[in-house]
Structure formats: C-alpha cells, structure tokens
C-alpha cells in the first residue's frame, strides 16, 4: 500500500547492501531503472558492530563503489552515500529514511539480507518510513530459507551429506542421470594428503589498486587505524571482472590439486591450492552456481580429477548452502548456544598474534596480514585451540566475524559456533573437531619450527595441544563420553595411569592459567 503522503507514481527505493553486489539481484530484477532509485550507503554502524579487519572494510567499500559505478553505467539512478559524507546518519535505517524522504519514494523493495541483525532492522522500516516494504527472497542461493525449513522438517538428523545429495540432484551437477558421477557422492576420504613446499604451488592473482581503491584505502587507514589487521599491501579484486579472473586462474592452476591437498597446511604457502573466492561469492561478485558449473566443466573436459571437482563443488552447494539454511532455521537462539559451557576469555594472542605456538602464530599472523586463512587453519588450528581451551564461543564467534574478509554472520556463525566449537551440541557435526598436536603435525610443516615438542604429551616443552586435548575430553566427559563417535578416544583416556591422567590435568591447568586474557578495546 503506498503511503498517503507519497504519489503512487513515485520511485521505489531499492536499498542494496555490501554483500548484494550482483546485477541479477532479486530487487533489481523487479525494479524499473527509468524510475526507481538504488540506495547504497557506507555506514558507521556496519563497520564497528565488530572491529572488522581493515582489509575487509576496504574490500567491501571499494567493491561497493565499483558496483555503484557499474549500475550507473547500466542506466540506474544510484544514490551512493560515502562514509565521510557529513549528512550520513551512520546507520542503514537512518539512510533509508533520509533517502525515502528526499526522493518521495512510493515504497521500498529490498532483497532479504544475509544477517538476522539486518532483517530486524528491515522489520522496522515500515514504521520508520511510513512506506510499504517488500522483501524478496535472495535467489542467488540454490536453496531458499523456506525450502531448507521444509527439508529439515521431520528429520531427526540434519546432516550436511543428505542435504548435499539433494542439491546435486536439484542442480544436476556431477550427475549421470540419477546417479552421482564416479558412482560415489563424496570423495573426501581421498582429500587428506599433506603437502610439501615446492615452486609449482599456484599463487592467487594480485590486483593493482585504481583511484577508487586508493581513496578507500586512505579513508580506512584514517578511520579504522585501531582495527585488527594490516591494510596494505591490498590486492583483492574489487570488481566482478577481476573476481572472475581470479576464479579462472584458480580453475586452471589450483583446482586440479584442490582435492588432494584440501586439508594441508604449509608455513610458506598461506593459500595452497585453495580458490580464494569466498569473499567474492559472499559479496555477490561471483555467482555460486556459475562457479560450480565452471568447476564441473573442468572435470567433464578432463582437466581436473573427480575428487577435486567434487570436493570443491561440495563446499559450495553443500556446506555453504547448508550453513545458511541452519542459520535461518535456528536464529536468533542459535547465537546463544554454549553446549560445553565454555567460559574462558579469548587469549590476547588471538588479536596480537604473539604466541610461541608456531601453528597458531602462523594462522593468526596470516590472518592479520591477509584477512584470510583456509578452512583447516580456521577449523583445526585457531578453532581447535579455542575448543580445547574452553573459550567462550561468543567471543570466538566475534573474532572470526571480525578477522576474515569473507565473514558474514550467516556463514561464519554456524561454522564457528557449530562446526568448530560444538556449541550447538552436535547439530552440525556428529562430534567435536578436537585434535591433539599429532593432527597438526601430520597435515602441516608447522611443528618443525616450534619451540614445543609435538611428540611429548606432558612435561617441560611438551606441545600444549596434547595435554589440552586429553584434558578437554576429561573435562567434558559428562557431555561427550556417551557419543558413539568418541568411544575410542575415551577408551584410550581410560587406559592412561592415574599419574598420567593427573599430569595431563596439571599441565593443562598450568598452561591455561598462564594465558593472558584479551582485554576488550585493546585491539
């Protein structure tokens, strides 16, 4: 219903958020470019609800400015509000209200946001503006939130694997009729090889900064100097064209070995065979289904093996879609979950990067410089440590949301709180991703450079992950010992002598007591 104070023929206001930079966005598809007005705004509230990495803010602002220019060139009227515009009200809502009034909008049409926080804001727009607000489903995802809710209904277990198979059938990706290519749905078991540093490991493309990006870098350098991470060198793609170049580069150079070395970690190779496209897909510069079709073509044309193409496609149509479904199914209570009742304050070194543990130093150091760590670094180094140390999952969640360029709550929260911290009690994973130093040693070259001895369980110089691992099992036995997938670990723990068990408990306690807790506002 148009508002009584606005002419029915006035323009619709089309707010577009920083993660909606897609020309095919649902709200653009229904809009009329000759009449309607697109609103894009760099607002202070969105930059500080967690202290985002400087590179993340720079990436999103520059990508937004380039997208606005792309829309403008395509004939749209774009109202673009810069962060340093003196009239900028500082929040999405204040900018929507101001724009709606200025253009005498007849209504607002918006594509559903990625985050619960923003959905709540949109819920107040009708009241705030007196205008009708139409919220459209975000069809850049393969599975709508309603479809996911239908899939989840009446299921005892919401495991990703079954959802993934449905997405394969729905898209036809890697299907031979009704059967999966290669007669198996999942080739994960073949994707666990450790890697060796060599000259042939591909590097992601590094893009030159144009005038727009340089202006953004100046702004971010001045306004967000206290935020985590290094701003420069800044080399991310900030346009669709460059994001596509990175994707093509990966398909040619990284995808063939993506599967084999998916879980490997190397000190000198932060990116290994990973694609580095999550930030581009999440911001809307790349379309997830098109990305998967191109990966499938590499397999069909015989350039990459099936385990690589399947592994890559599973991450996107499986994990990525699945975590979004879980997020919208379970929010807002999901964010409050703390199944293991973990309450320790996050250690200071997560923000400073200063620690003697070589694996954490590598993963956090790289996070500071690149706003990137690959999945196994996030899950089995920083995530594993936080899990074993019993760190408050809310603080862990805020850390991940702040430090990665690809972090938006809908994808970050289920990965952190569910997959990595087991704070949802096993909704996402059937057991916690807890591991001793042995796993890190097997999959990386970190331990060789570490002052700790990965082979030692307790005593002087022993790798802290070892005592922490067994202590974690011991501390959480009441909640985990009955888990069938943990039976073997608990059987091993029970075989320790009383003295060995006591040494584990004491070493873990001493190590944890020695951690410097983070003090809010230090970083």
H or E stretch at 252: helix 240-253
Q: Which of ligand FAD, ligand SF4, none is residue 400 near (CB under 5 to 8 Å by kind)?
A: ligand FAD
Question: Which residues make beta-bridge pairs with 175?
Answer: 180
**Whole-Å CA distances, 276 to 231, 401, 454:** 18, 17, 30
| Residue closer to ligand SF4, measured from CB, 234 or 469 | 469
| Residue closer to ligand FAD, measured from CB, 16 or 379 | 379
The residues near 271 (Cβ < 8 Å, ≥ 6 apart) are 202, 203, 204, 372, 374
Q: Does 379 bind ligand FAD (CB under 6 A)?
A: yes
Interacting positions 439-498 with ligand SF4 (CB under 6 A): 440-441, 446-447, 450, 452, 454, 463-465
Instruction: State the helix-helix crossing angle for 240-253 and 288-300, rounded to 10 degrees.
Output: 30
Binding test (CB under 6 A) with ligand FAD, winner from 195, 285, 323, 363: 323
| Residue closer to ligand SF4, measured from CB, 327 or 446 | 446
Q: What's the per-residue H, E or C state across 287-319?
A: CHHHHHHHHHHHHHCCCCCHHHHHHHHHHHHHH
Stretch that binds ligand FAD, among 22-30, 126-134, 211-219, 375-383 (CB under 6 A): 375-383
Instruction: Tell me how many residues contact ligand FAD (CB under 6 A).
Output: 28
CB 92 within 8 A of CB 46: yes
Q: How far apart are CB 304 and ligand SF4 at their closest, in Å?
A: 32
Binding test (CB under 6 A) with ligand FAD, winner from 43, 264, 276, 480: 276
Q: Does 404 bind ligand FAD (CB under 6 A)?
A: yes
Binding test (CB under 6 A) with ligand SF4, winner from 357, 371, 411, 508: 357
| Residue closer to ligand SF4, measured from CB, 152 or 515 | 515
Q: How far apart are CB 263 and ligand FAD at their closest, in Å?
A: 10
Peptide bond into 332 cis (omega under 30): yes
Eight-class DSSP state of 382: I
Peptide bond into 180 cis (omega under 30): no
Write each residue from 410 to 439 as x if it is in contact with ligand SF4 (CB under 6 A), else as -, in one continuous string. ---------------------------x--
Interacting positions 36-65 with ligand FAD (CB under 6 A): none
Q: Which of ligand SF4, ligand FAD, none is residue 358 near (CB under 5 to 8 Å by kind)?
A: ligand SF4
Binding test (CB under 6 A) with ligand FAD, winner from 274, 330, 361, 475: 274
| Residue closer to ligand SF4, measured from CB, 255 or 265 | 265
Q: Does 374 bind ligand FAD (CB under 6 A)?
A: yes
> Which residue is it, tokens 């985050």?
115
| Residue closer to ligand SF4, measured from CB, 141 or 469 | 469
Instruction: State the helix-helix crossing angle for 498-513 and 464-475, rounded to 10 degrees.
Output: 110
Q: Which of ligand FAD, ligand SF4, none is residue 359 near (CB under 5 to 8 Å by kind)?
A: ligand SF4
Structure tokens at 448: 């060789």
Q: Does 375 bind ligand FAD (CB under 6 A)?
A: yes
> What's the CA dihedral at 308, 314, 317, 320 to 10 degrees?
-110
Q: Which of ligand SF4, ligand FAD, none is residue 278 near (CB under 5 to 8 Å by kind)?
A: ligand FAD
Interacting positions 85-114 with ligand SF4 (CB under 6 A): none
b vs e for 65-76, b when ≥16 Cβ sit within 10 Å of the residue's Cβ? Answer: bbbbebbeeeeb
Q: Does 264 bind ligand SF4 (CB under 6 A)?
A: no
- How would DSSP label each residue in 111-141? EPPSSHHHHHHHHTHHHHHSS-EEEE--TTS
Q: How far apart are CB 148 and ligand FAD at their closest, in Å?
A: 14
**Whole-Å CA distances, 54 to 18, 128, 236, 315:** 15, 32, 13, 27
Antiparallel, parallel or unpaired: β 179-180 and 175-176:
antiparallel
| Residue closer to ligand SF4, measured from CB, 99 or 440 | 440
Q: How far apart are CB 371 and ligand FAD at their closest, in Å?
A: 11
* Cα separation, 446 vs 363, whole angstroms: 10
Q: How many CA atoms lie within 13 A of 94 on its CB side?
A: 11
CB 185 within 8 A of CB 161: yes
Q: Which of ligand SF4, ligand FAD, none is residue 379 near (CB under 5 to 8 Å by kind)?
A: ligand FAD
Q: Does 319 bind ligand FAD (CB under 6 A)?
A: yes
Q: Which residues bind ligand FAD (CB under 6 A)?
A: 274-278, 281-282, 312, 315-316, 319-320, 323, 374-375, 378-379, 383, 400, 404, 406-407, 411-412, 415-416, 419-420
């Amino acid at each position: 219903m148009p508002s009584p104070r606005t002419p029915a023929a006035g323009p619709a206001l089309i707010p577009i958020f920083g993660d909606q930079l897609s020309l095919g966005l649902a709200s653009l598809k229904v809009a009329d470019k000759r009449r309607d007005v697109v609103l894009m705004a760099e607002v202070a509230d969105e930059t500080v609800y967690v202290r985002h990495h400087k590179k993340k803010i720079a990436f999103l602002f520059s990508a937004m400015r380039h997208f606005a220019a792309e829309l403008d060139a395509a004939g749209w009227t774009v109202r673009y509000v810069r962060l340093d515009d003196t009239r900028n009200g500082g929040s999405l809502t204040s900018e929507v209200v101001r724009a709606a009034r200025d253009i005498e909008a007849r209504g607002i049409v918006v594509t559903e946001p990625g985050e619960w926080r923003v959905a709540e804001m949109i819920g107040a727009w009708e009241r705030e503006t007196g205008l009708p607000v139409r919220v459209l489903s975000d069809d850049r995802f393969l599975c709508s939130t309603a479809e996911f809710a239908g899939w989840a209904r009446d299921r005892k277990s919401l495991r990703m694997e079954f959802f993934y198979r449905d997405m394969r059938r729905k898209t036809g990706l890697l299907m031979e009729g009704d059967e999966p290519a290669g007669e198996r749905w999942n080739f994960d078991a073949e994707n666990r090889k450790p890697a060796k540093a060599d000259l042939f490991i591909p590097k992601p493309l590094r893009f030159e900064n144009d005038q727009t990006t340089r202006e953004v870098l100046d702004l971010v350098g001045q306004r967000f100097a206290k935020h985590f991470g290094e701003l420069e060198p800044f080399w991310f793609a900030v346009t669709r064209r460059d994001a596509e170049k990175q994707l093509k580069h990966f398909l040619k150079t990284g995808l063939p070995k993506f599967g084999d070395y998916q879980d490997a970690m190397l000190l000198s190779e932060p990116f290994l065979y990973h694609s580095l496209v999550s930030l581009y897909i999440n911001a809307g510069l790349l379309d997830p289904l098109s990305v998967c079709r191109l990966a499938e073509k590499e397999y069909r044309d015989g350039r990459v093996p099936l385990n690589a193409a399947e592994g890559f496609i599973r991450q996107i149509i499986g994990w990525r879609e699945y975590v979004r479904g879980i997020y919208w199914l379970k929010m807002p209570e999901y964010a409050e979950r703390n199944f293991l009742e973990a309450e320790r304050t996050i250690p200071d070194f997560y923000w400073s990067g200063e620690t003697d543990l070589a694996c954490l130093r590598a993963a956090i150091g790289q996070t500071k410089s690149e706003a990137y760590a690959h999945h196994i670094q996030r899950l089995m180094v920083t995530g594993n440590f936080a899990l074993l140390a019993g760190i408050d999952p809310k603080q862990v969640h805020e850390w991940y949301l702040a430090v990665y360029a690809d972090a938006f709550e809908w994808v970050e929260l289920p990965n952190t709180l569910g997959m990595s911290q087991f704070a949802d009690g096993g909704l996402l994973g059937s057991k916690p991703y807890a591991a001793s130093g042995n796993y890190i040693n097997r999959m990386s070259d970190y331990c060789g450079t570490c002052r700790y001895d990965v082979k030692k369980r307790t005593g002087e110089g022993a790798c802290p992950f070892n005592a922490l691992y067994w202590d974690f099992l011991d501390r959480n036995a009441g909640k985990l010992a009955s888990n069938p997938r943990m039976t073997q670990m608990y059987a091993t723990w029970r075989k320790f002598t009383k003295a060995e068990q006591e040494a584990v408990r004491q070493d873990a306690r001493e190590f944890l007591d020695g951690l410097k807790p983070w003090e809010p506002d230090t970083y």
